[in-house]
């Protein structure tokens, strides 16, 4: 189903525009001038050594070059562009880390006041990003769930717009642009093609929902080089915070909150109670995909593995996709081409990696 704001556009018309996340403007909910920090199309890199090792064709969609070194830039750019159009002057949002940093940078660009709530355990680099960008940072004890409760309270007290995941609907469309780029890159730059599977980290799950949305819209628009089934969505969570993995494995329809406070190095995966976990679970199942939990030592090892084997210094969240994909490949449960999604820059995690 196409979004309500979609207007007819030919793929070739879109391809005549600059190669950035705004070239598919008709599929985005932004009518006026975009709040932009120069979000160029990010690379889709073929990985020959990983492909040889796993026996399947592996690519990495690398969003680390985006502003702020994170895929969260996509959601922030579209979300705050829409906020400007709606006359929003003040935003409050909870964050596990990178989203808060990215939204603070884009809020500065948009001249919108922002307050970000984070757990005290959130990465220091992300905390500093918010402060440097002129945002207000409020730290809370506990997890992102506690930060979300505090953000809701601030919104009630101040009238600020509450930009929690999925409560703010526009970031889904922003993150959708990663998949539109990837389909085009797989199609050789002149048409679109789906991979057999996409392996992506799942914290709040926006990227997974955005992928399903992109598949539906591209199919409806007839932009594929030939008719195809959408890719299997393989969601990856850290073993010490895997509520959706547990629900998937137990064939549950409802995801229960993770009972233990997570401590994984992959801060973006420290989401014990995703607000729309049931929706994510549904999208994964509908795609014929699966959910995989990755042990902490395997996440750490994968950061070095990607850097040493392919020259990619991935964030821990993005690196977690490698052991998940290789586990499925060894079991004969994954066919290529497979795209791993690196959501950010490893250099932002130096303190944790030490």
Q: Residues 109-142: pLDDT tens digits? A: 999 999 999 999 999 999 999 999 999 999 999 9
pLDDT-derived band of residue 1, with 50, 70 and 90 as boundaries? very low
Q: Is the pLDDT of residue 90 over 50?
A: yes
Q: What is the mean pLDDT of residues 227-246?
A: 97
Tell me: pLDDT of 328 over 90.
yes
- How far apart CA 19 and CA 282 sit, in angstroms, is 32
pLDDT tens, 267-290? 999 999 999 999 999 999 999 999
Average pLDDT, the chain: 95
Label residues 86-103 b or e (16+ Cβ within 10 Å = b): eebebbbbbbbbbbbbbb
190: number of Cβ within 10 Å: 10
Q: Edge-to-edge strands of the sheet including 136-140?
A: 136-140, 113-119, 90-95, 161-162
Instruction: Judge whether residue 3 has pLDDT over 90.
Output: no
pLDDT at res. 322: 98
Confidence of residue 354 (pLDDT cuts 50, 70, 90): confident
Q: Quick one: pLDDT at residue 101?
A: 97
Mean pLDDT on 292-319 = 98
For residue 9, what pLDDT is reported? 72
pLDDT of residue 99: 96
Tokens representing 42 are: 């990010």
CA 217 – CA 5 distance, rounded (Å): 12
8 — pLDDT class (breaks 50, 70, 90):
low
Which pLDDT band, with edges at 50, 70 and 90, does 230 fall under? very high
- Over residues 164-178, mean pLDDT: 93
Q: Check: CB of residue 105 under 8 Å from CB of residue 129.
A: yes
- pLDDT at residue number 262: 93
Torsional class of 188: left (φ above 0), alpha (ψ -120 to 50), beta (otherwise): left
Question: With 80 as the cut, is the pLDDT of residue 326 above it?
Answer: yes
pTM, entire model: 0.95
pLDDT at 312: 98
The pLDDT-based confidence of 2 (bands split at 50, 70, 90) is: very low
Whether 5 shows a pLDDT value over 70: the answer reads no
pLDDT for residue 129: 96
């Amino acid at each position: 189903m196409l979004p309500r704001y979609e207007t007819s556009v030919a793929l070739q018309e879109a391809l005549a525009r600059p190669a950035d996340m705004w070239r598919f403007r008709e599929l985005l909910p932004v009518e006026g001038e975009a709040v932009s920090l120069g979000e160029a199309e990010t690379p889709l890199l073929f990985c020959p050594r990983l492909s040889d090792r796993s026996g399947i064709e592996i690519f990495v969609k690398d969003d680390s070059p985006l502003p702020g070194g994170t895929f969260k830039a996509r959601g922030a750019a579209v979300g705050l562009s829409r906020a400007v159009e709606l006359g929003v002057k003040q935003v409050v949002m909870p964050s596990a880390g990178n989203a808060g940093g990215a939204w603070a940078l884009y809020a500065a660009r948009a001249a919108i006041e922002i307050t970000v709530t984070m757990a005290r355990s959130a990465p220091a680099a992300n905390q500093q990003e918010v402060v440097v960008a002129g945002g207000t940072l409020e730290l809370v004890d506990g997890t992102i769930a506690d930060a979300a409760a505090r953000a809701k309270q601030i919104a009630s007290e101040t009238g600020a717009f509450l930009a929690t995941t999925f409560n703010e609907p526009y970031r889904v469309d922003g993150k959708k642009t990663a998949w539109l780029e990837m389909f085009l890159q797989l199609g050789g730059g002149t048409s679109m093609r789906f991979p057999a599977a996409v392996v992506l980290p799942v914290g709040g799950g926006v990227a997974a929902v955005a992928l399903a949305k992109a598949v539906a819209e591209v199919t409806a628009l007839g932009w594929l080089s030939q008719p195809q089934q959408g890719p299997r969505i393989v969601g990856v969570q850290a073993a010490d915070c895997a509520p959706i993995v547990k629900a998937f494995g137990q064939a549950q329809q409802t995801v229960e909150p993770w009972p233990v406070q997570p401590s994984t190095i992959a801060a973006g995966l420290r989401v014990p109670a995703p607000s729309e976990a049931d929706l994510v679970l549904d999208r994964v199942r509908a795609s014929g995909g699966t959910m995989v939990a990755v042990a902490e030592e395997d996440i750490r090892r994968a950061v070095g593995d990607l850097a040493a084997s392919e020259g990619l210094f991935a964030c821990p969240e993005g690196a977690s996709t490698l052991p998940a994909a290789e586990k499925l490949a060894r079991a004969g449960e994954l066919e290529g081409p497979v795209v791993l999604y690196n959501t950010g820059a490893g250099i932002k995690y130096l303190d944790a990696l030490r």
